[in-house]
Structure 1
Amino acid sequence: MSSVIFDGKYLKLQKVENRRYAEFKTNNIKHISTAEEINSLISELEVYKHDIKDNKEVEE
């Protein structure tokens, strides 16, 4: 199991019965278990990653 803070939300990834689930610890807990939901999460993380890179380049 791995955990990360993403955009102020606690994200926990765990493998259960050969499936991966992502859980957002917010007011409403969201379980991500379909390919579409996982792709959406990946897209959101990619945008966030690019924002971080852009911010670091501006700081330098």
Structure 2
Amino acid sequence: MIVSCSVFQRMNAIVGLTAIAGANVESQDRVIECLGKITESSRHLLGLINSNKNA
């Protein structure tokens, strides 16, 4: 299976935003912002995986 750039971008976003959230645990607003973006990226990544699986 060839992994597209979009998969790598989403994985990098998830990993990076998790690190940012962890470094900012004292800022609830920042953590909530990161969690929202992680959720969005995760759902997009899952959609890419599912569409590739069904191809």
Q: TM-score under structure 1 normalisation?
A: 0.51
Query: Going by fraction, where is helix more abundant, 1 or 2?
Result: 2
Larger relative strand fraction: 1
Instruction: Give aligned-pair identity as a percent.
Output: 2
Judged with a 3 Å threshold, the aligned counterparts in structure 2 of structure 1 residues 10 and 44 are, in CA distance, closer, same or farther, namely closer
Q: Larger relative CO (CA 8 A, sep 6+): 1 or 2?
A: 2
What RMSD over aligned residues (CA atoms) do the two structures have, in Å? 3.0
Q: What SS is found at the alignment partner of 2:19?
A: strand
| Matched residues, number | 41
Which residue among 12, 20, 24 is the counterpart of 2:19? 12
Deviation sequence 1:1-34 (CA, Å, 0-9, x none)? xxxx632848537xxxxxx742xxxxxxxxx231
Structure 1, unpaired ranges of 5+: 14-19, 23-31
In the superposition, relative to structure 1, how do residues 21 and 59 fare at CA in structure 2: closer, same or farther (>3 Å)?
A: closer
Name stretches of at least 5 consecutive residues in structure 2 with no aligned partner: 1-10
Cα offset, 1:43, TM superposition: 0.2
TM-score, length-scaled by structure 2 = 0.54
Does residue 41 of structure 2 align to residue 35 of structure 1? no
